[in-house]
């Protein structure tokens, strides 16, 4: 469903992404891991057309993503790390706005809003202003806004930052549901246990390049652990990216 080929992006002399390639199939959740400054966010930005790559291409269902108004962008949903919501509007008005950006209107928009709110369990708060929501509720609404137009691909940039275990668990359940509906999900996170729980495959990038792309089992098998026990994803991650501090 989503194929990324040899993406490169630099800002002046800084090469943010040197060479990134991977793919995601329908019904698959791929975890995108990397230390701070590894190039994760820049990669996600290129996948959604927020920045134009210097080189390489993004294929959506075999179609090369090209330009701001490429209809293929309708097949992508973005859940940004920031809570990109209008606090002064109600949950429903936020979703009405974001749905309209994808051409939804009338009954189709109303139906999409209901479905999205049901999924994230916020139907009873649809008329409330977002500023009255807890951090976890805002995160769930942020997710709902990204999948309102029923995209085939959902890009989630650290969607659980700053939420309590209950809300995080609810978000995980939502993502499992979406995966079972056949959506292709790309999930960037710093939390290893989240990737361990959710990801069918894990892509590790560092210094702007993919340094590993495998299943959890495949990755853990790469690392030998003293005493013969099973390696964790965190130990694999540290083994691949080193222990030196990053930005």
Partner 1 sequence: MTALLAMVRKDLQLFFSDRRAVIMSFLVPIAIASFFGSIFSGPGNNAEPAKINIAVIDRDGTDISRGIVSGLSGDRNLRVATPSEEAARAQVKNGKTSVAVVIPPGFGEASGRAFFGNASKPELELVYDPSRSVEFAMVRGILTEYVMQAVSREMFGGRQGRQYVDQVLPQIQSSSTMPDDQKRALILLLQSAQQLNGRTSPDNASRAPGITMPYSVKEAAMTSGDRVAYNGYAHSFAGMGIQFLLFAAANLGIEMLLERQRGMWKRLRSAPISRMLLLAGKTLSGTIIALMTLLVSFGFAMIVFKVRIAGSLAGFLAVSIACSLMAATFGLLVAALGRTPASARGVTTLAVLMMVMLGGAWVPTFIFPAWLQQLTLVVPARWAVDGLDAMTWRGIGLAGAIVPTLVQLGFAVAFLAVAMSRFRWEEV
Q: Which is nearer to partner 1, 158 or 206 (CB)?
A: 158
Cα–Cα distance for residue pair 56/178, rounded to 1 Å: 28
Which 24-63 residues touch partner 1, going by CB under 8 A? 41-42, 45, 48-52
- Candidates 98-106, 199-207, 225-233, 234-242: pick the segment binding partner 1 (CB under 8 A): 98-106
Q: Kindly state whether residue 101 participates in binding partner 1, applying the rule CB under 8 A.
A: yes
Residue 8 belongs to what H/E stretch? strand 2-11
Among 86, 111, 218, 225, binds partner 1 (CB under 8 A): 86
Which 64-83 residues touch partner 1, going by CB under 8 A? 68-71, 73-74, 76, 78, 80-83
Q: Kindly state whether residue 108 participates in binding partner 1, applying the rule CB under 8 A.
A: no
Closest contact distance (angstroms) between CB of 76 and partner 1 is 7
Cα-based torsion angle of the residue sequence 99, 105, 106, 108 in order, rounded to the nearest 10 degrees: -70
- Lay out the site mask for partner 1 across 132-151 (x = CB under 8 A, - = otherwise): -------------xx-----
Closest contact distance (angstroms) between CB of 48 and partner 1 is 4
Q: Which is nearer to partner 1, 145 or 204 (CB)?
A: 145
CA distances from 129 to 7, 65, 147 (A): 40, 35, 20
Between CA 212 and CA 42, with CA 53 as vertex, the angle to 5 degrees is: 55
Look at residue 131 and give its three-state secondary structure: helix
Closest contact distance (angstroms) between CB of 152 and partner 1 is 14
Q: Kindly state whether residue 98 participates in binding partner 1, applying the rule CB under 8 A.
A: yes
Q: Kindly state whether residue 160 participates in binding partner 1, applying the rule CB under 8 A.
A: no
And the tokens for 196? 């361990």
Query: What are all long-range contacts of 116-125, with beta carbons under 8 Å and residues at least 24 apart?
Result: 116/144, 116/145, 116/147, 116/148, 117/91, 117/92, 117/144, 119/144, 119/147, 119/174, 119/177, 120/144, 120/170, 120/174, 121/170, 122/91, 125/91
**Interface ranges with partner 1 (CB under 8 A):** 16, 41-42, 45, 48-52, 68-71, 73-74, 76, 78, 80-84, 86, 88-89, 93, 96-98, 100-105, 145-146
């Amino acid at each position: 469903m989503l194929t990324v080929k040899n993406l490169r992006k630099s800002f002046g002399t800084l090469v943010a992404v040197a060479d990134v390639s991977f793919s995601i199939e329908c019904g698959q959740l791929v975890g995108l891991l990397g230390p701070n400054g590894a190039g994760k966010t820049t990669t996600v930005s290129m996948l959604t057309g927020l920045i134009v790559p210097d080189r390489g291409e993004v294929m959506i269902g075999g179609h090369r993503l090209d330009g701001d108004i490429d209809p293929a962008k309708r097949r992508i949903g973005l859940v940004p790390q920031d809570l990109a919501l209008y606090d002064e509007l109600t949950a429903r008005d936020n979703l009405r706005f974001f749905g309209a950006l994808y051409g939804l209107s009338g009954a189709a928009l109303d139906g999409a809003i209901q479905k999205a709110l049901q999924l994230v369990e916020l139907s009873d708060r649809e008329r409330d202003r977002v500023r009255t929501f807890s951090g976890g509720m805002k995160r769930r609404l942020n997710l709902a806004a990204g999948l309102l137009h029923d995209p085939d691909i959902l890009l989630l940039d650290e969607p659980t930052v700053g939420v309590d275990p209950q809300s995080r668990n609810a978000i995980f359940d939502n993502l499992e549901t979406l995966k079972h509906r056949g959506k292709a999900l790309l999930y960037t996170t710093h939390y290893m246990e989240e990737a361990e729980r959710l990801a069918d495959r894990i892509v590790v990038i560092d210094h702007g390049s993919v340094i590993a792309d495998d299943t959890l089992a495949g990755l853990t098998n790469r690392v030998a652990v003293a005493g013969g026990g099973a390696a964790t994803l965190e130990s694999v991650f540290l083994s691949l990216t080193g222990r030196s501090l990053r930005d």
